[in-house]
Amino acid sequence: MKTVGVFDSGVGGLSVLRALLAELPGVRFVYVADSAYAPYGERTVAEITDRSERITAWLCRIHQIDALVVACNTATALAIDSLRAAHPDLPIVGVEPALKPAAATSHTRHIGVLATRGTLNSERFARLRTQLESTASSPVHFICQPCDGLADAIERSDLQTQQALCEHYVQALRDEAPGDMDTVVLGCTHYPFAAGVLAQLLGPDVVLVDTGVAVARRTRDVLNLSAPTSTKSTTPMLFSTGDPAALALAAHRWLGLQTHAEKLVA
């Protein structure tokens, strides 16, 4: 049985784990929420690289993982190159805001992007955006909105702050958009857990796009698994550098998992 390590700054990567469990039954998953250091979105490159490296080293040492999924847009944007350099034999799958699928399907060509400040300010994101703006079949316009505080509010299950921040950031997107947006990219793995609020604010004509399923398919490819090896998902192992009970609760609430989480010091 293959073992895949998955990590995020906190509970957000559970949105990716959900897709991985559906796509890869028969694979063992070890999930790490780095909640003691969340949110990553407003941290420095050096801090995020250090945290990503410590967690990856622990996953390799203790769980002998066959592949790693960086279930965090911010850590992918800022640390995946150094992780790949440090672990050349480990297949590593990252998460990037779904600009490409959004550009492929948007009719109005005005696409909102909600992500952390760290992701939006990264060189990796700038490259992706420029490349799509210059190669898309017809001109496309991305309206990028950093959402300070939103991942943190989701992390803390603070529904009131989530609602207020979503209202604020949706309004900011509308103020900036030069035309009607028909697509909004959820460029942080925490945001699918606020999708209900965002969908209500944006209305039925706007499609929300995230990357969970695409990442799960890519993970299947790197593991060389062509067909499900079993029909029943295995229960993932959950670890948190913060409060394990909060992680177990989030996994129960959002993924229906009945399992405990353990404390990790890394």
Contact residues: ligand DGL, CB under 6 A: 8-9, 12, 38-41, 72-74, 116, 119, 151, 188-190
Measured from the CB atom, the residue of 147 and 182 that comes closer to ligand DGL is 147
Q: Is 133 left (phi over 0), alpha (psi -120 to 50) or beta?
A: alpha
Measured from the CB atom, the residue of 72 and 250 that comes closer to ligand DGL is 72
Amino acid identity of residue 167, one-letter, is: E
Query: Which of 252, 255, 245, 253 has its CA nearest to residue 35?
Result: 245
Amino acid identity of residue 117, one-letter, is: R
For the bound state, the minimum distance from the C-beta of residue 104 to ligand DGL, rounded and expressed in Å, comes to: 21
For the bound state, the minimum distance from the C-beta of residue 31 to ligand DGL, rounded and expressed in Å, comes to: 13
Catalytic residue of the set 144, 147, 166, 188: 188
CA dihedral of residues 193, 112, 144, 99 (deg, nearest 10): 90
For the bound state, the minimum distance from the C-beta of residue 39 to ligand DGL, rounded and expressed in Å, comes to: 3
Which single residue brings its beta carbon nearest to ligand DGL? 41
For the bound state, the minimum distance from the C-beta of residue 157 to ligand DGL, rounded and expressed in Å, comes to: 15
How far apart are the C-alpha atoms of 219 and 243, rounded to whole Å? 28
Measured from the CB atom, the residue of 225 and 255 that comes closer to ligand DGL is 255
Catalytic residue of the set 72, 144, 147, 166: 72
Q: Which two tokens stand for residue 93?
A: 């799958």
Measured from the CB atom, the residue of 39 and 112 that comes closer to ligand DGL is 39
With 0-12 CB in 10 A as exposed, 13-18 as middle and 19+ as buried, what is 254?
middle
How far apart are the C-alpha atoms of 55 and 32, rounded to whole Å? 8
How far apart are the C-alpha atoms of 14 and 117, rounded to whole Å? 21
72 given a catalytic annotation? yes
> How many C-beta atoms surround the C-beta of residue 58 within 10 A?
19
> How many C-beta atoms surround the C-beta of residue 139 within 10 A?
8
Measured from the CB atom, the residue of 4 and 38 that comes closer to ligand DGL is 38
For the bound state, the minimum distance from the C-beta of residue 199 to ligand DGL, rounded and expressed in Å, comes to: 19
60 given a catalytic annotation? no
The catalytic residue positions are: 72, 188
